[in-house]
Chain A
Amino acid sequence: MTAAINDEAASVPAGIDAAARRGAYARGAFARLMPPLALFAGVVVAWEAVSRLFNLPEFVLPPPTAIIAVLFAQQRDLAYAAYVTAREVLWGFLLSAVIGAAVALVIARFAAFGRALYPLVVLFQNVPKVALAPLFILWFGFDLAPKVVLIVVIAFFPVAINMLVGLQTVDANLIALMRSVGASRNEILLRIQIPNSLPYLMAGLKVAVTLAVIGAIVGEFAGAQAGLGYVIQFASTQMQTSLVFAALVEVSLLGMLFYYIIEWLERRYIDWMPNAG
């Protein structure tokens, strides 16, 4: 997906007018969107046909039209649930980004401390964090806080590890040149390592935002009074399967929205990616 977009950008000659480039990009976007949309439409039609043909009960597999009907009929309740979940994802994601980047910077800058910290971070990563959700409910209540904490412990790791790789994969000769003119470690970090790590950081953020949505839903499963995860759990106990799917649709749209915001930021501000040149 990313590679395809970058290929498209690379095929536009350098130095071309920015507006023309955007135009070319929009035309390319249309050509890229057509096949997945056609496939998606095909799957939906087949689904509808199967559920009607075999006369499946709605609580087993509702047809897409029933799901769409619920999406409209309960749009206000769903919108509020989506708002609650989006707020959890946003805060959890932002904190994951800040904490993940900070961990990477500390490990890269303070080698001795980094050697002590790194194995602990890896150890912590191997704790099944979903299992911590009930603990967080116990400690932080049923509202926003336990979900944000759960998201952070799930999502900070890909941010930290990606950024760390970016901080460390700097050409040794370049470091030698910087040292030869008396650059301090902070100067090398600031001028070389941090900018070098930004494309890697963005890759980590894309993984983190996806994990953040999962964290929010799992956190709501463990104990919540609102949110799309709460709706899914509540509706499934009531056999309102159409509502379960309607909430799933909104969760997916939410995840995609966050993902593409990050991808847009990446394309807008970090345009020196090796595979984009």
Chain B
Amino acid sequence: MSTSTLAPPPHIVARGICVDFTVAGRVNRVLNDVSLSVPKGGFVSIIGPSGCGKSTLLTVLAGLLPPTVGDVSVAGVSPIEAVRQRRIGIVFQEATLLPWKNALDNVALLMEVAHAGRGSDEIRQRAADMLRLVGLEHAAQKRPAQLSGGMRQRVSIARALALDPEVLMMDEPFGALDAITREEMCEFLLEIWERTKKTIVFVTHSIDEAAFLSREVIVMAANPARIIEATPIDLPYPRNEHSYSAPEFARATSRLRRLLKEGHREAVAA
């Protein structure tokens, strides 16, 4: 299912992914024959109801979980190899920061492990640069408890970007934030994306978020977990708060809503 409307070479390709979880002797298929392709520098969202396997799909793409069946390649290599080569940065729903370290040290954490040979000055400089990129240079000395939810998630994004990955895998990163902060973070993420040219895979259950951010939205359904459609979003970049009132945005969200409802009805009927 090659779905890109533009022509850049695919950066992430998944073919025929199945994932089975065995719980108490019973095999549960949480992902069934999922294929997708994400172009280099693309912004693809994966949307679907709870339990449709969208987060599982992301963990497979991010090399955290090997698929039971199927092939995945990220930048031409397996996800596990891509992780080893630091081509993949991950952001989770929770910021997963260390509460005893300040923002700067949290951003430096993974670099300190990955580049154990490099000088600490160099690492801290890079961490400070990343904090500036996410607009938190003033909060370098603050601990997570002193930061708002949105700021904590910015630190988490800075930590992921610090290792300069080609791909950013984000699992409902703004899911725990309030509505206004969410919209701010979406605009902020697009800015980062335009500046850094990363390939971004973004899991969400928010239709507006998916439509606002993405070049393409992959719509999933549950029972059985599968992809219904990959929908291109024809909303011009750069996008900002005015994009929400653009007719293209309304068209995209109503199409996504219809697809999600169809998927839901089929699941209920089955």
Give A162-221 interface residues, CB cut-off 8 Å to B.
Answer: 171, 173-174, 176-178, 180-183, 187, 191-192, 195-196
> Among A173, A183, A187, A196, which residue has the most Cβ atoms of chain B within 10 A?
A173
B90 x A180 contact (CB < 8 A): yes
In the assembled complex, how far is the CB of residue A136 from the closest CB belonging to chain B, in whole angstroms? 39
B88 x A272 contact (CB < 8 A): no
In the assembled complex, how far is the CB of residue A268 from the closest CB belonging to chain B, in whole angstroms? 14
Measured between alpha carbons, how far is A262 from B145 in the docked complex, in Å?
23
Q: Which of B64, B98, B114 contacts A181 (CB 8 A)?
A: B114
A181 x B145 contact (CB < 8 A): no
CB-defined contacts of A182 to chain B, threshold 8 Å: 84, 113-114
Q: Which of B88, B100, B142, B146 contacts A180 (CB 8 A)?
A: B88
CB-defined contacts of B100 to chain A, threshold 8 Å: 195, 272
> How many residues on B have C-beta within 8 angstroms of the other chain's C-beta atoms?
23
A177 x B110 contact (CB < 8 A): yes
A192 x B98 contact (CB < 8 A): yes
B109 x A277 contact (CB < 8 A): no
CB-defined contacts of A174 to chain B, threshold 8 Å: 96, 98
A128: CB under 8 A from chain B?
no
B114 x A15 contact (CB < 8 A): no
Q: Which of B86, B96, B113 contacts A191 (CB 8 A)?
A: B113
A173 x B113 contact (CB < 8 A): no
A119: CB under 8 A from chain B?
no
B146 x A178 contact (CB < 8 A): no
B126: CB under 8 A from chain A?
no
Q: Which of A15, A178, A277 contacts B99 (CB 8 A)?
A: A277
A14-52 vs B: 1/0 string, CB under 8 Å?
110000000000000000000000000000000000000
B83: CB under 8 A from chain A?
yes
Q: Which of B83, B92, B144, B146 contacts A173 (CB 8 A)?
A: B92
B98 x A178 contact (CB < 8 A): no
B163: CB under 8 A from chain A?
yes
Residue pairs across A and B with Cβ atoms less than 8 A apart, 8 shown, are: A14-B146, A173-B90, A180-B63, A180-B88, A180-B90, A181-B114, A191-B113, A272-B143
